[in-house]
Amino acid sequence: MAPEKVVLPPFQALVDAHWRDVARLARALAGPVDGDDVAQRAWEKAFAAYPGLTSAKNLRSWLLTITARCATDLHRARKPQRPLDEAPPVAVEGPDAANWPDPDLWQAVNELPERQRFAITLKYVGDLDHHGVAAALDTTPAASRRLVSDALAVLRSKLGVNA
């Protein structure tokens, strides 16, 4: 028996439906300067992979996962490639919090460890559930919950917010 053929909407329909979500997540993860480049790279990767998809379920989550991975690639490319014991300390710049609404919150988000920062941004800016966050970060939903929970605890502590 032959496998069932997947019927995908035209790629332009996908772009029309989700371009704002991709752009918003890219800016949140990479900042206002690099966000457009990350979004563009995500669309390029999605376009290349689109014909090979085996399922048309949750295309939005698939796109946001690609966007998160493109942002991760950007951040990794900025880091030194030498072994840590040989490398001098280098500050890796993220989004400039002063350019965002509620700069204190975004400054605190920028100071989170990378995986916590990505998890909380995917959850609350990308509006992904823990399965979507887990897929984007290549981890489990339980680990996703823990990353988000830990990030929220750090943010509440830094901002003096009682839970």
**Domains defined for the chain, CATH in brackets:** 7-81 (1.10.1740.10), 96-163 (1.10.10.10)
Q: Report pLDDT digits (tens) over 19-55.
A: 999 999 999 888 888 999 999 999 999 999 999 998 8
Q: Distance between CA 91 and CA 89 in Å, rounded?
A: 7
- The predicted pLDDT at position 90 comes to 43
125-146 tens-digit pLDDT? 888 888 888 888 888 989 989 9
Angle between helix 114-124 and 130-137 (nearest 10): 140
CA separation for the pair 132, 130 (Å, rounded)? 5
Looking at residue 83, its pLDDT comes to 54
Mean predicted lDDT score pLDDT of the chain: 83
Burial string for 43-65 (b: 16+ CB within 10 Å, else e) reads bebbeeebeeeeeeeebbbbbbb
Q: What is the pLDDT of residue 92?
A: 43
For every residue of 70-89, DSSP letters joined together read: HHHHHHHHHS--S-TTTSPP
pLDDT of residue 48: 95
For the segment 145-163, what is each residue's pLDDT rounded down to a tens digit? 999 999 999 888 888 877 5
- pLDDT of residue 99 exceeding 80, the answer is no
pTM above 0.85, yes or no: no
